[in-house]
Amino acid sequence: KDLTMYDSATNKFAKVRSMNLVQEIGMVSYVFSDKTGTLTQNIMELRQISIDGEVCGKPPTAAGPPTENCKKHFTGFEDVVAAKRKIGETKVSKFMEVLAVCHTVIAEKAANGEIEMEAESPDELALVQAAVDMGWSFQHRTSDELEVVVDGKKRVYGILGINAFTSARKRMSMLVKSDKGEYILLAKGADNIMMDISSSVPGYLGDQLYKFACQGLRTLVICQKTVPEKEALAWVEKYKAAQNAMTDRDKQLDELATQVEKAIEIVGITAVEDKLQDHVADTISRVKKGGVKVWVLTGDKLETARNIGFSCSVLSNDMEIIVLDTEASARTPQEQMSDALETARKAHLNKAVGLLITGSMLETVLINLGESLLELGEMCDVVIACRVSPSQKGEVVKLVRYGVKPSPVTLAIGDGANDVAMIQEAHVGVGISGKEGTQAVNAADFAISQFSFLMTLLLVHGRWNYRRLSKFILYSFHKNIVQCFQLFTYTFLCAYSGTSLYEDWVRNSFNLIVGFPVIFLGFFDRDLDRLQSLEDPEGYSVGRLGQELNMMKMTFHTGQAIVLSLIITMVTLLTYDAFAVSKMADYYTWGTVCYVCLIVSMLYRLAYMMTTWNWIVVLALVLTFLGTWFALLVCGSLTTLMGGVVSQLLASPLQWVCMLAVPLFAMVVDLCLDAIRLAVECASSKHSLGDMIGKVDEKVPGGLPACGVRPQGIKAQFFQQDLPSFQRHTTAKTVSGGLLCSGVALVILGAALLSTAGVPMAQVQYAGNALVGKNADELTVQQCAEGSQCNISFRVKDAMQGPIYVMYSVDPFYMNANHYMKSGSISEVKGQFGSKSAAETACTSALEESGERLWPCGLKAASLFNDTYELRRRTDYKRIEIKETGIAWDSDLNWLKNPKEYPHKAGTRWLYERFPSIANLEKDGVRSEHFAVWNRPAALPNTVKLWGVIEEDLAAGEELSLYVSSYFPVSDFDGRKSFILTKKGALGGRSDELGLVLSVVGALGIALGVVVLVSHVAGRTKLSKVADQQPYKNLDTQAADPGSQVAPTAVPPADAIGRTTPSSVESAVTEVHDF
């Protein structure tokens, strides 16, 4: 709960009633506001009355404290006494009789004996209480009677009928029978309505109504007439029948009210003051500075609306004010609108423009001149519509919402039932929980207790929520684009077969994992604190203009996502051969390496987007990283070939290097872009780069400093802000520091990977076209025909000490093709012989032409690599032992099993019968380590597998003879086969190409970081020299356009923002970070 939006008078907090619109309060372009109870306190005080032209009471500016005689509700008691002597007591009594009797107030006696009153509206209560002060004391009422005490004497009035006030009728009346037996119609209502139904209009009426309205007072015309008994009784009979009607009851009652409310006598005027709420003017001023247009829609008279407009700073004396009123001008609405447009076009270029339009004019405009009103309204800073009905309020909002292009976000704020139409029509509805019931609150999306809270709602929470949601959307698109582009890139490496880069369960966990930490960005992230947001209302334009979420932003983030995806792909591709030496180049393991790099890069991206850091944010990122490994363990339990992957990755230093290299690489790229952006911003701001980068440790008056300077946040009474936090902004200091740190880290990683170039290796290609780009000293090419045995001599360039890894390569061989991977039965290689029909379902070639069943079935078993190697020294032809054990994962050998029928089941062609060249295959069956290695499909077309291990040492330059039995066919797909000898370094095999890339990128990052740092120091030095000659506060003025005068916005006092002052806010002055 926001304690600065707490109203102690009503004991209510601001309330969010719709969570779907929290972002739209940061994008509002138009605010439509009611006046009574919204801008005003809805605490009515009767200031002045007019009885037969005699004005009693003092105007609001002159009204002092109540005198003893007038008690507490009206200050004009002595004037009323004087009026009795001047115009006679009868006229005064008629006026007082209407005030004391014509109402719906309920009176009850309290325990202390005093009468307590409750009314439907505060202005009605103010009139009755004022009548009590002037000697007409309302006591109580029943359904049939009403009792009033006048000068100590009781009067009882019989209630014959009540014609209730409605927004359409704008009046109420009562037909009563006095204790003298007279039938009297008492009425009060809006001046234009009462004048139409009166018998005559007194000459004083117009002038006095105008004077009262100019003082900002709400006026009612008081009327009464005596009704003949016969006419009254006939009307009462019809009234009772209409009350009991089952259909059209309201229509019949309205018609009867119109019948009796004719030729009534005007006896006076009441002028009630409804004071403005606290800080209304400041709220409207700040909201307007945020670029929001304010439209006030009220039922008051034109003069009252004008006066209130000046009081709450909606209107000002230096503003061009245009008035559209059909009653005050003989010109047609079309002519008035044409003149208004011409005036606005000339004036709005040089000064602010305001529009006052009456309900009668609005009625014509909404039908025929809607587009003209929109054009005029867009040139006006404020529009005040007066004498408008609730339905017209809704129509005005609808006109702006759907008529203005591009479509703006509209907000309507009100406190009563007559505001429901416009609240429901606007994008965002705000209800004020005031004194006119809860209809507006119930129809609204947000509920507040004071109009001044709208400033905090829009400028603070609106800005925060818009930026948070924008980041959330950009991050959501970013993460999905990175993943999808990775999958798209992998399509070119899997024969376009549609194989996913990650195992299915792993892929499905992606959004669940990376969707968790972004929640905390939505909780805590903010670029400015509350007071800074209020101090700089111009910053609200970020949301209003959609600067944080637009097509350009989406395009930029899409490009960033594609670059990040390419970085991940490049890093993992350049380490593929090194992973092969570590027995981690299979589809499941290498794909999981890519997945982990993807998760880490997404955590980096989220961290880079975050401005506010606290321990909860850090904990969320750490838990997400740990949760990734937990999810992978779960996936390993669900998919057989994923078993053991996590343990292999955790034990692989190369995997951790990749996991660090990806975010560091991306950070250098992002910081380079930020450095360019900051330089461009500075170049376009009339400040030199040195000046702007050097603005550090200075207090900048009047809103946000220019060109990317961001102030440090301070605490306020929110849970999300009470937490100790660190604000990370994109400044020269953070950019240079980030570039230097990430660049140094990349150079260190690059150096480690470059050291793998010294891993000795020898390669013999004995089938297919020669490899391009390989070191000629390490590569021997000699063709060996399929089905033959060959002796190939080659030389070992560098000395190798055991253990030496013997590997083979088949390229290209798409073990990662979708149909290849899905062919086969896991249950078979787990030891279940199964039925022939089940085998045919799992494998496309489960039977041979002879009808014999193949076991195990599938393309993996059918394409088992069956070339054999023998290695001898050329000097003495001594055979070098190649151990063909220990080449498979122990976890795979634990679940690979032969069926109990093995190898004697009749009608079955076993694996060893198909590949007799493989040693010990008959003995081991599917538990053969060669089969276990082959059963893990390679992640890329370059299939590199471990064949054996040599424990003996090989001398540098030693000549060896390789005896190859070439059985594995590659001629059909123009493939290559190679025999490889290599050592396993600390990071597996060779990754020097990646090391070179990282070293170059790191060096570039360091160089750019030094450039930014030097510029930063130079800027500080220049700023210090300037500060010695003149106050710093003049620096911005000198850099601005000549003659421009920008007055600083003072930091608002805490009590100007809410009823409760945050105890944690000790000062509104905060430290400003350097650019």
Active-site positions read 34
Non-local CB neighbours of 640 within 8 Å, separated by 6+ positions = 826, 830, 895
Rounded Cα–Cα distance for residues 752 and 656 (Å): 12
Rounded Cα–Cα distance for residues 463 and 543 (Å): 7
Largest Cα span, the chain: 144
Q: CA torsion 995→996→997→1002, rounded to 10°?
A: 80
Integer CA distances (angstroms), 212 to 55, 276, 1024, in order: 10, 16, 60
Rounded Cα–Cα distance for residues 63 and 74 (Å): 10
Rounded Cα–Cα distance for residues 376 and 914 (Å): 88
Q: Name the strand (E) or helix (H) holding 507.
A: helix 504-508
Question: Number of helices (H) and strands (E), helices first, in the chain?
Answer: 41, 35
Q: What are phi and psi of 146, to 5 degrees?
A: -140, 135
Contact yes or no for 591/938 (Cβ under 8 A) = no
Long-range contacts of 425-428, Cβ-Cβ distance < 8 Å, separation of 24 or more: 425/394, 425/397, 425/398, 425/401, 426/32, 426/397, 426/401, 427/21, 427/24, 427/28, 427/401, 428/21, 428/24, 428/25, 428/28
Rounded Cα–Cα distance for residues 159 and 101 (Å): 10
Integer CA distances (angstroms), 788 to 784, 867, 970, in order: 7, 10, 14
Residue type, 205: L
Q: Name the strand (E) or helix (H) holding 873.
A: strand 868-873
Whether residue 903 is preceded by a cis peptide bond, meaning omega within 30 degrees of 0, is yes
**Helical residues (DSSP H) of 369-462, grouped into ranges:** 370-379, 390-403, 420-425, 439-443, 453-455
The owner of tokens 């000068």 is 151
Give the residue among 916, 906, 917 at the shortest CA–CA distance from 850: 906
Long-range contacts of 565-569, Cβ-Cβ distance < 8 Å, separation of 24 or more: 565/481, 565/482, 565/483, 565/485, 565/486, 565/489, 566/485, 566/489, 567/601, 567/662, 567/665, 567/666, 567/669, 568/482, 568/486, 568/594, 568/597, 568/598, 568/601, 568/662, 569/486, 569/489, 569/594
Return the structure tokens found at 894: 């634990």
Residue 679: exposure state from Cβ atoms within 10 A (0-12, 13-18, ≥19): middle
Non-local CB neighbours of 232 within 8 Å, separated by 6+ positions = 160, 175, 177, 183
Q: What are phi and psi of 217, to 5 degrees?
A: -95, 145
What 3-state DSSP class applies to 268? strand
Q: Which residues make beta-bridge pairs with 412?
A: 32, 429
The owner of tokens 């359904």 is 143
- Beta strands 976-982 and 879-880, pairing class: unpaired
Rounded Cα–Cα distance for residues 18 and 429 (Å): 10
Give the residue among 513, 519, 514, 483 at the shortest CA–CA distance from 635: 513
